[in-house]
Amino acid sequence: MKQTSVTTNGPCWVELGTSDPAAAEAFYSELFGWRADNGVRPEAGGYTQMFLGDAPAAAVTSLAGPQQPIAWTVAFAVIDADATVLKIKGAGGTVLMGPTDVFDLGRFAVVTDQSRAVFTLWQARAFQGAGVFNEPGSLGWVELLTRDPAGSTVFYPTVFGWSVRPSEQYTQWGLNGEDFGGMLVMDDRFPPQVPPHWLPYFSVADVDTTVARAAALGAEVLMPATDVPDGPRIAVLRDAQGAAFGVYLAGAEG
């Protein structure tokens, strides 16, 4: 992802819903050099922003209920959350939580695409989203894993105006001539109970070192460090609470 700041209709934020926020904060702080700041808005009920230096990079929060899976959620920046929700409905998606104001920070909605992959919309006011991209320890790529690639290549351009750059191995999403994410088809390697989902990738200075460090901190290695043909070195991990995420070599984005 070559964007260096929040771009309309592009990924702007990631947050982790987890069963053990304190453990997750400690894990990601050790892995990415994040600093937890849970005093930004005490009225937010334990929603913790994670900072990389002085820039907000992500958030960690407790689960909203027993039905919520432990997972990272990707947010996309929009000008008008209410209007985008109407587009999502028209394109075959669903609305799990309608547009809601978050203090003076912005307006958000929780939605799914046509295959039920969950993501959120963020209409910024006081809070724009991540303050750093593509630097080691920050969001660097977002990937849709789906069993309905044909439907997805209609849904997302309809809702967000994304470009689609397919190849034999991988499809990439773009805005303004720059790719920021991709799509991976879920085949029989994925158990049927694993739903379509968005996976964030964080940029790191050394993939192999990061994988080893994550494993030592209790993470599971889902995909070991691998060189992507014509792409970066990547790996996919699962933290001790069960949330999957990827890492990739800084400066080698597509």
Q: Percent of the chain beyond pLDDT 70?
A: 94
Q: Which CATH superfamily is domain 11-124 in?
A: 2,3-Dihydroxybiphenyl 1,2-Dioxygenase, domain 1 (3.10.180.10)
| pLDDT interval class at 80 (50, 70, 90) | very high
Q: What is the pLDDT of residue 169?
A: 81
pLDDT tens, residue by residue, 36-58: 986 655 555 679 999 999 999 99
Rounded Cα gap, residues 173 and 179, in angstroms: 5
**Residues 161-189: pLDDT tens digits?**
999 999 878 999 999 999 999 999 999 99
CATH number listed for the domain at residues 139-249:
3.10.180.10
Domain ranges of the chain: 11-124, 139-249
Average confidence score pLDDT of the chain = 94
Beta strands 139-146 and 220-227 are: unpaired
Strand partners, 246: 201, 236
Q: Which residues contact 167 (CB under 8 A, 6 or more apart)?
A: none
What are the tens digits of pLDDT across the range 202-217?
999 999 999 999 999 9
pLDDT band at 64; cut points 50, 70, 90: confident
What pLDDT sits at residue 4? 77
Confidence of residue 111 (pLDDT cuts 50, 70, 90): very high
Q: Cα separations (Å) of 131 from 54, 58, 80, 157, 189? A: 8, 9, 21, 25, 35
* pLDDT mean over 221-234: 94
3-state secondary structure of 87: helix
**Band of pLDDT at residue 67, cut at 50, 70 and 90:** confident
Determine the distance from the C-alpha atom of residue 215 to the mean position of all C-alpha atoms in its chain, rounded to a whole number.
21
